[in-house]
Structure formats: structure tokens, C-alpha cells
Amino acid sequence: MTEPTTCSVTKVEQLLPPALLERLRLQLEPSAYKTALQSFATPKPVTIRPNSIRSTEQELLQQVHSAGMKTEAVTWCPECHLLTTGTIRQLQELPMYEDGGMYIQAASSMQAAYALQVAPDMRVLDMCAAPGSKTSLLASIMNTRGMLVANDRSRKRLYRLREILQRQGATNVEVLCGPGERLAQSHADCFDRVLVDAPCSGEGRIRTDKPIRISRWNLQEIRTLAKLQEQLLVAALRCVTVGGTVVYSTCTFAPEENECVLDKVLSRSSIDAELIELPRELHPPSSIAPLQNWNGKELHNDLSNAMRIIPDSTTTGFFIAAMQRKS
């Protein structure tokens, strides 16, 4: 990770709410805190991947490089490449983008899908799917085989999801519209894998050139989201079959939305599940261990298997945990 200058960090600190800064200092070691703040003041990294339904990694790189753009492989994320010279607009003008052979997606977001470890012929649920980045990657990994259900509560956002899936050639996807926390009422014990990329406060994607996002940050929203996130995770564990896997992810730092959600769910007497270790190859250099306590409360000892990703020059901030239903 690049070590930011004191000046750059000080400048960013002047633009963020003092309460957010204090919370980040409590969560992160000084080096991780500096790296995160520096990322807030730099352009969001642009990473791309092939859609294996329509193209290969070699074909993607050949087309991108032939257009005068340059890339670097993101070694910790399969078939992911960081754009080092070029723009998103240039990528979107390529035939491969128009044909659905290429997808622009944050590397940390890809990791949430890879952590689910899906295979062709599985039954998979993406509980909070729109706008469709992870759904399209899951369909690609599954080679359009098996059953992939993409659900979202927002009918408006589902229009975008359907457009993406059609362009990507994801023919094995069934789209549902409804509250994810209620899906267990109709889909209990139905899936081998469930992804809960939960709605969150988005602290891992803060950018100082997007002041509206910063101005909207508040603790009440975090508390409200945490209640919904707990409901979503409980529903996911009821939708998955015994022995199946649920991946829970967010793009925020807030412990109330991450470790505390897992702690509450694991502490429920009606839930029999455990956190399982994420494959080591999915851990980026900027990943750190989850918190073991927050606000004076010791958290569940299983949480050590979860992963925090600090935003840096290659990706945005993320939190990922995998759980297995035991009974």
C-alpha cells in the first residue's frame, strides 16, 4: 500500500465529519487509517474483467491494449485488471463492452462473488442483486448452467439489472422483485449458495469529490441499515440448505453493519451456523482482520474468519464473511 503524506491526510480530514474520523481511528491501525483517507482523495480505481460467456481474458486485453490503453493484473483477484492508462469512456466505446464481453467492476466487489465458490448446476440466490455486477459474475462462473435467482426490492433498479444480464448473455437467471428479508417465507431450504451484498452506508466508497455522499453520512442511517442487514442475513441462512454457504458483504467500515450484524445473528438460538475461513488467495494485500470488540462489547470469536478490505490504489473498501448453515 502507498504511504500517504501527512499533508494529504490532514486535508482529507478537514472534509470529513469529525464523528466519522473518530470512528475510523478506533477501527484502524494508523497505517490503514492513512491509506483509507488517501483513497478518499484519489480517483476511484477502474478495474475490468472478461465475461467468460462471451470472451476470454486474452481477448479482453488484446482489445483494450490495441485501443492504446494500459492495464496491470490485480494478482489477488482472478482475471481482474487495473486500468493504468485510459478512461471509462474509452472502455465503454470498445465493441467488447457493447457486446457484453467486458465488465467494469471494483475488484473487492468481485471477491464477494468469488468467495461464494459457486459451480455449474448449483442453485444460487443473489438476495440484493441490483444493479447486477455480482449476478453477472456469478452467471459467468456458472457458465449459465444451474439456477441463479437475482432478487431486489427496487423495481426501478431491476430494469438496469435485466439490461446488464441480457447484454452479458446470462440466460440462467430468474429475476424476482421483493424484500430480501421475506424470501425465506417462499424459498426456505432452496439454495446451495446465497449472496447477501447488503444495502449499506457505503463508507468504503467515499470520495472527497462527491460531497453529497459525505453530507449524507450519519449514525442514525447506520443503525437503521444494521437492523435490515440482520434481517437479510437471517433470511439468507433460512433460504440456504443445510451445509450450504452464505456470503455476507458490504462496502462500508461501520462495525454495526459488519461484525456486529454477524455477532447478533450467530448469537441467535434459532440460528445454527458458523463462519468459515475465506480462501487465502482471495485476501488482497490491503486486507486486515475484523474487529474483536466494539463499543466495549466482546464479539463472537468466529469473526476472525471474516475479512476487511481497506481501500487503496487497486480497489474500494469492503467487508466479506462466509457462513455455513449447520442444521
Residue positions annotated with a catalytic role: 251
- DSSP one-letter string for 145-210: -SEEEEEES-HHHHHHHHHHHHHHT-TTEEEEES-GGGTHHHHTT-EEEEEEE-----GGG--TT-
The C-alpha cell at 283 is: 485476501
The C-alpha cell at 155 is: 423495481
Distance CA 31, CA 110 (A): 25
Give how far the C-alpha of residue 223 lies from the chain's centroid of Cα atoms, to the nearest Å.
20
Q: Treating both helix axes as pointing N-terminal to C-terminal, what angle do 30-40 and 6-13 enclose, rounded to 10 degrees?
A: 70
Distance CA 20, CA 219 (A): 9
Question: Starting from the edge strand earliest in sequence, which strands make up the sheet with 102-104, in order?
Answer: 70-73, 81-85, 47-50, 102-104
